[in-house]
Amino acid sequence: MAPTDIKTTAHKPALHWRFDFGSYGEARRFLDQLADLSKRDNYYPNINFGKTYVNVSIDAEGQMELAEKEAAFIDEMKKYAAQSPA
């Protein structure tokens, strides 16, 4: 469940993570937690997913570093992914 390194597109740097889970239930739990986090912080990264994985991409919006709000979002997202299955 470790995130990938920073990647860049033609014009904007972005962060990309792929989180792999052992079951659909674990992936769904993570997606639900991300939805709650997004609502709370009013921040909505690009998310796509399959049965046992979740991809999250955060565009740095032309900046070399993400804003403090986004960095806190990332830290909490990583904590959710590291939690043991419910």
Q: What is the pLDDT along the chain (86 residues), one digit of tens a residue?
A: 545 455 544 556 778 999 999 999 999 999 999 999 989 988 888 899 999 999 998 876 634 445 666 778 888 999 999 986 65
The residues spanned by each domain of the chain are 21-56+70-86
Nearest-Å Rg of the Cα atoms of the chain is: 13
pLDDT confidence of residue 19: 96
pLDDT confidence of residue 41: 84
pLDDT confidence of residue 63: 41
| Torsion angle in degrees (nearest 10) through CA of 24, 20, 37, 13 | -140
pLDDT confidence of residue 14: 78
Topology, domain 21-56+70-86: Gyrase A; domain 2 (3.30.1360)
